[in-house]
Structure 1
Amino acid sequence: MLSDRLAPVFDEPGCATNRAKTDAQKKAGCKPKGPAPGAAAGGCAFDGAKISLQPIVDAAHIVHGPIACEGNNWDNRHSASSGSDLYRRGLTTDLTELDVIQGGEKKLWKAIRQAIEKFDPPAVFVYQTCVPALTGDDIRAVCAAATERHGRPVIPVEVPGFVGSKNLGNRLAGETLLEHVIGTREPETTTPTDIALIAEFNIVGDLWQVMPVFEKAGMRVLSPITGDARYHQVAQAHRARASMVVCSQAMVNVGRKMQERWGIPYFEGSFNGVRATSEALRTFSRLLVEQGAAPDLIDRTEAVIAAEEAEVRRRFEPYREILAGKRVLLYTGGNKSWAMVSTLQDMGMEVIGTSVRKATDHGKDRARDLLDGADQKLFGAIPNAEMFRMLKDGEADIMLSGGRSQFVALNARRPWLDTNQERHHAYAGYAGFLVLAERIALTLTAPIWDQVNGPAPWDAGDTP
């Protein structure tokens, strides 16, 4: 039952928040006390599950529900593919009022058959949504029968939106991979330096920014979970020698359970910025050597880090004077709450505050250390009026955030840059550091800011 699968996710021992709770608080779990109007504004559980699994690019992803569920969710993460575009097809059973009355299981069966006949995918993911969950469609039974009939995995993703938040959906998607996918296929070859990247979704090609660096260091990304992944790559993740959880809020449960089941050590890391990327490479090399890789891997990794950092310093020089001393309000979430702080500091910028509303305790501690222990620089949710005041009064020269808060900055007539999932540029790794520096410099020096903050032509006496 769904409730049986929810309980372990609420009591995730790999989550720093849970580790800090009392036994009574753990028993109560993380689930909200009850639904509230607008609670799904930041994404429901179905949304979280879909965006976590959809980057498996060669699988068919069928949303079992009314068409709006797929319409509102489709392709909202800009996860890029180096091959198949099947993951971008909006496949849905498009349930109607009549299906609510008569049941949608037959319609789902036909949809699975049609997807397999048309696209011949290695696997099919079927996403449960609120309506069929409430009407009682047994998608697990349909998927089991379809698996037997078509001779390939048809995987039920039983995460209807009403069970909780987007973050909960991320973790339940991880549980789906652990139950149905990871460990079901053996790789053709293995190496002592095989690694897995967990909760790295290749947003606008972030993964591609770091893949060449791993190759230079002699590490092989055996399993990306799930950015630009093929189904078989995820299925063989249990043969990795070490793994890194890129967004621990999303899938720390996957890293922990892979360690428990297959002895794969994991750590929480980031590719945002020079320091974080170098730290991730060093940690990987150390763990791999502990797992049996050749000891010279550490020296090779250090050589790659030294060369990459030197190249970054050289290419960053044109932006140094533009960015030095500029003040930034960082309003983002997850691992970016701390990793982006170190990135901006490496550029010579001053972070006046960062939002940690979606960060783990581990992330909050790292952000606090980077900001010299200044708790007043760690924000939760900032009301729009307060955010507007901070920008209007000139406390920050630029705001970096997601798209939902861009209009606060633009109304205050202050520069703003998107650092969230809707962005169009990759900011990961050493190459991404330079891309971000360029985008910030272009934003700060755009002539529009002098125009909108200066007097209007008719007030300056420029009109006839």
Structure 2
Amino acid sequence: MSLLRDKIQDVFNEPGCEKNRGKDAKARKVGCSKPLTPGAAAGGCAFDGAKIVLQPITDVAHLVHGPLACEGNSWDNRGAASSGPTLWRTSFTTDLTELDVVMGQGERKLFKAIREIKEAYGPPAIFVYPTCVTALIGDDIEAVCQRAAEKFGLAVVPVNAPGFVGSKNLGNKLAGEALLEHVIGTAEPYDPGLYDINILGEFNLSGEFWLVKPLLDRLGIRVRACIPGDARYFDIACAHRARAAMVVCSTALINLARKMDERWGIPFFEGSFYGITDTSDALRNIAELLVKQGADPEILGRTELLIAEEEAIAWKKLAAYRPRLAGKRVLLNTGGVKSWSVVHALMEIGIEIVGTSVKKSTVEDKERIKQILKDDNHIFEQMAARELYAMLSEHKADILLSGGRTQFVALKAKTPWLDINQERQHPYAGYDGMLELVRQIDRAIQNPIWWQVREPAPWDCQPAMGEELPRMKSETVTLHAVQEFSGTTAADFGE
């Protein structure tokens, strides 16, 4: 437990975080995460954060050591996609019961579960996640994993991030620490090259990284490891041989990027693949870092040619949507990198941003938003559901872009809504992803259902004094509706 405490303090003292560097020594120990309150950790504890970062590693077995509900609550909460192995889609848990706790059977049950997974599936590695229960009763996860690795001849990685130690964001960083300590650098690639890069914090939601990878392939740039989206264990183990790295979500894996730079000299930058301009900037930055690391400078020219070609195609396709969406008002209730990257992407085609949240955003994220919007009044830390509903019901926005938890606020306000968070069904990254995002916004806003639901209900349309309702017409319409529904005739109703 003392090792876990030291690791947490090390994560809180993250030099790569500009916000953290500005604190005094006492404030730095507290960290950036808000303390959890009883009953409020579901879906946002450290265990959940660690599972989010590591589960998209597709050929690994992910074993949760704890009660069954811990695995049930954390499974499949992100729409990551795989181009190959499907083992990550299988849930593994030791299903610890009260009797196991009382009788001290936790470690024995964990070792047995590792053996069963090895015999049934033969994965290259097993990631073991302790939970609040197993951490509190003192199960020695590291010792069991080490013994199992020696016994069965495969990598067994302890991911020491029980839920009670902190928030989901802390769990993200502890997952990065587990990769640094037990995975990265444990294997050597067959063919290292000068054009190998790592992409950190990319989850391949709805397969959106597959819209970006072909661009890199055309430039001759190989993604040595995408962590964690559509990743393989061996690729991550060889990630220390990459020449440069791009961090997509700094709040999740900034510690991983910084320590890989310190240990293996892999420079990194923070970028985004959302929007045409940001995608082009990301490609340029990748090429420039590779040149600094020894690649042929001719890649800079090839990158500019590719950008010019792709931007011309994208802008031509987007031209059809510009007159339909110009002046439309969008409210974003999201956070992290999307709080500024999606803002920039939408403003490129003339959409007005009436507000964006900066929840889970870094200091750098907030500065980017200020530079883009030129107005702090459109930035809010967190908006309560009541305030969000008031803003939408007063028609201050034409559409809400957010996660699934606030969709019902938009529906209650009879306002179009589009999922922009991890549960989304459409990929929005890269040039083609930007076109898809605009297409989905246009479909949501132009959907005729919104004009229908905003019309007053028939029973709310009261006649003026002395005016009678068109009773016979109403009855006829009702009768026809019943006939259409049931297939009956007027004779069946005695008429």
Both proteins in one fold, TM over 0.5: yes
**Deviation for aligned residue 1:328:** 0.5
Residues in 2 aligned to 1:217 and 1:161: alpha-carbon distance in whole angstroms: 42
Residues in 2 aligned to 1:343 and 1:72: alpha-carbon distance in whole angstroms: 33
Residues in 1 aligned to 2:474 and 2:24: alpha-carbon distance in whole angstroms: 69
Residues in 2 aligned to 1:83 and 1:186: alpha-carbon distance in whole angstroms: 22
Deviations 1:223-267 (A, max 9, x none): 111100000011111011100111000000011001000110001
Amino acid at match of 1:150: F
After TM superposition, list the pairs within 5 Å mapping 1:329-368 onto structure 2. Answer: 329-368=331-370
Question: 1:59 — aligned with what?
Answer: 60
Q: Is the 8 A contact 2:43 2:74 kept in 1?
A: no
Amino acid at match of 1:234: I
SS in structure 1 opposite 2:78? Answer: coil
Question: 2:432 — aligned with what?
Answer: 431
Q: What RMSD over aligned residues (CA atoms) do the two structures have, in Å?
A: 1.3
Unaligned runs of 5+ in 1: none
Q: Is the 8 A contact 1:457 1:463 kept in 2?
A: no
Q: Is the 8 A contact 2:248 2:272 kept in 1?
A: yes
1:220 counterpart = 2:231: no
Structure 1 residues 383, 8: closer, same or farther in 2, change over 3 A?
same
**Deviation for aligned residue 1:36:** 1.5
Residues in 2 aligned to 1:405 and 1:329: alpha-carbon distance in whole angstroms: 12
How many aligned positions are there?
462
Question: 1:409 — aligned with what?
Answer: 410
Residues in 2 aligned to 1:323 and 1:139: alpha-carbon distance in whole angstroms: 54
Aligned pair partner of 1:191 in 190, 193, 214: 193
Aligned pair partner of 2:28 in 26, 29, 37: 26
Amino acid at match of 1:26: R
Deviations 1:60-101 (A, max 9, x none): 100001010110111110110000100010100001011111
Question: 1:133 — aligned with what?
Answer: 135
**Deviation for aligned residue 1:347:** 2.2
Unaligned runs of 5+ in 2: 462-469, 476-495
Residues in 2 aligned to 1:154 and 1:43: alpha-carbon distance in whole angstroms: 25
Residues in 2 aligned to 1:239 and 1:53: alpha-carbon distance in whole angstroms: 20
Amino acid at match of 2:113: A
Structure 1 residues 170, 216: closer, same or farther in 2, change over 3 A?
same
Amino acid at match of 1:13: P
1:100 counterpart = 2:101: yes
Question: 1:168 — aligned with what?
Answer: 170
Aligned pair partner of 1:211 in 210, 213, 216: 213
Aligned pair partner of 1:272 in 271, 274, 290: 274
1:257 counterpart = 2:259: yes
**Deviation for aligned residue 1:22:** 2.1
Deviations 1:374-394 (A, max 9, x none): 111111110111111111111
Amino acid at match of 1:83: G
Question: 1:247 — aligned with what?
Answer: 249
1:463 counterpart = 2:455: no
Amino acid at match of 1:187: P
**Deviation for aligned residue 1:30:** 3.6
Question: 1:114 — aligned with what?
Answer: 116
Question: 2:77 — aligned with what?
Answer: 76
**Deviation for aligned residue 1:457:** 3.9
Bigger CA drift: 428-437 or 313-322? 313-322
SS in structure 2 opposite 1:432? Answer: helix
Q: Is the 8 A contact 1:397 1:415 kept in 2?
A: yes
1:369 counterpart = 2:381: no
Question: 2:467 — aligned with what?
Answer: none
SS in structure 2 opposite 1:176? Answer: helix
Residues in 2 aligned to 1:35 and 1:167: alpha-carbon distance in whole angstroms: 12
Residues in 1 aligned to 2:436 and 2:149: alpha-carbon distance in whole angstroms: 44
SS in structure 2 opposite 1:410? Answer: helix
Amino acid at match of 1:163: V
**Deviation for aligned residue 1:42:** 4.9
Q: Is the 8 A contact 1:105 1:139 kept in 2?
A: yes
Deviations 1:353-395 (A, max 9, x none): 11002100000000111101x1111111101111111111111
| TM superposition outliers: structure 1 runs of 4+ over 4 Å | 458-462
Q: Is the 8 A contact 2:36 2:167 kept in 1?
A: no
Residues in 1 aligned to 2:33 and 2:343: alpha-carbon distance in whole angstroms: 30
Residues in 1 aligned to 2:140 and 2:37: alpha-carbon distance in whole angstroms: 27
Structure 1 residues 38, 433: closer, same or farther in 2, change over 3 A?
same
SS in structure 2 opposite 1:183? Answer: coil
**Deviation for aligned residue 1:273:** 1.0
Residues in 2 aligned to 1:395 and 1:29: alpha-carbon distance in whole angstroms: 36
**Deviation for aligned residue 1:23:** 2.8
Residues in 2 aligned to 1:286 and 1:38: alpha-carbon distance in whole angstroms: 48
Structure 1 residues 31, 202: closer, same or farther in 2, change over 3 A?
closer
**Deviation for aligned residue 1:275:** 1.2
**Deviation for aligned residue 1:24:** 2.9
Deviations 1:117-144 (A, max 9, x none): 1111000000010001011111110000
Aligned pair partner of 2:329 in 321, 327, 336: 327
Structure 1 residues 51, 35: closer, same or farther in 2, change over 3 A?
closer
**Deviation for aligned residue 1:397:** 0.6
Q: Is the 8 A contact 2:43 2:73 kept in 1?
A: no
Amino acid at match of 1:406: Q
1:312 counterpart = 2:301: no
SS in structure 2 opposite 1:225? Answer: strand
SS in structure 1 opposite 2:321? Answer: helix
Residues in 2 aligned to 1:289 and 1:116: alpha-carbon distance in whole angstroms: 43
Amino acid at match of 1:10: F
Residues in 2 aligned to 1:389 and 1:252: alpha-carbon distance in whole angstroms: 37
SS in structure 1 opposite 2:198? Answer: strand
Residues in 1 aligned to 2:381 and 2:253: alpha-carbon distance in whole angstroms: 22
SS in structure 1 opposite 2:212? Answer: helix
Return the index of the structure with the highest Cα Rg. 2
Question: 1:87 — aligned with what?
Answer: 88
Residues in 1 aligned to 2:185 and 2:36: alpha-carbon distance in whole angstroms: 36
SS in structure 1 opposite 2:281? Answer: helix
Q: Is the 8 A contact 1:80 1:203 kept in 2?
A: yes
Q: Is the 8 A contact 2:33 2:169 kept in 1?
A: no
SS in structure 2 opposite 1:352? Answer: strand
Residues in 2 aligned to 1:337 and 1:355: alpha-carbon distance in whole angstroms: 6
SS in structure 2 opposite 1:114? Answer: helix
Residues in 1 aligned to 2:405 and 2:315: alpha-carbon distance in whole angstroms: 33
**Deviation for aligned residue 1:35:** 4.2
Deviations 1:304-347 (A, max 9, x none): 11111111011112222221110000110110010010111112
Residues in 2 aligned to 1:85 and 1:463: alpha-carbon distance in whole angstroms: 57
Residues in 1 aligned to 2:26 and 2:134: alpha-carbon distance in whole angstroms: 34
Q: Is the 8 A contact 2:246 2:271 kept in 1?
A: yes
Structure 1 residues 293, 463: closer, same or farther in 2, change over 3 A?
farther
